[in-house]
Homo-oligomer: A and B are copies of this chain.
């Protein structure tokens, strides 16, 4: 297909495609004439993956390059591939003081919590630090009573993860797995957050005995 069709099929603008070609993120097409090249399905799939990484994951071009290298490495186990994609979509928040004993205590609490649950997680997982950030902030703001819902959270995310990881691994193809992990993690977070707010509203209405208008 010509670049115009590639653009349409991948929902990526022609200037963006040319930029990714220059950056070496997608291979060149088969030359069919002066200033003309032919592209195939592999180009469409690769552009869709790049779009998910950039638009949804918010990755820099350098970070996209690292993820694509992992996708293209046939010797990489699936678990490591998912780990690389996870790391890539986990930015470090601006405010964090790892020397603060209250932050360290919160992190230790997270490690203990997931250890009791039998979760096997790398000690370098950025999500460990993010969970500690949230717990330390809740305590600092005198909201520790809300942390009574931690066991409910742990049980809930375990059920979610069982579905999600199975759905992603079922895809088989590494590029599609990474695409699913990135979009599922980030868009899933937005979706779960929105559903949780709706559930809170419904629960508040229920407790106060409100009923739907006739």
**A interface residues with partner B (beta carbon < 8 Å):** 11, 48, 51-52, 56, 77-79, 82-83, 86, 90, 110, 114, 117-122, 125, 127-128, 130-131, 133-135, 137-138, 140-143, 145-146, 148-149, 152-171, 179-181, 183-185, 187-208, 210-212
Contact status of A131 and B191, CB under 8 A, knowing A120-B202, A165-B207: yes
Known: A183-B146, A204-B165. A141 touches B56 (CB 8 A): yes
Are B152 and A120 neighbours in the complex by a CB distance under 8 Å?
no
CA distance A117 to B138 in the complex (A): 31
Q: Report Cα–Cα, A179/B144, bound state, in Å.
A: 12
Name the B residues within 8 Å of A179 (CB-CB): 141, 143
User: CA A159 – CA B142 in complex, angstroms?
Assistant: 24
B184 and A52 contact, CB distance less than 8 A: no
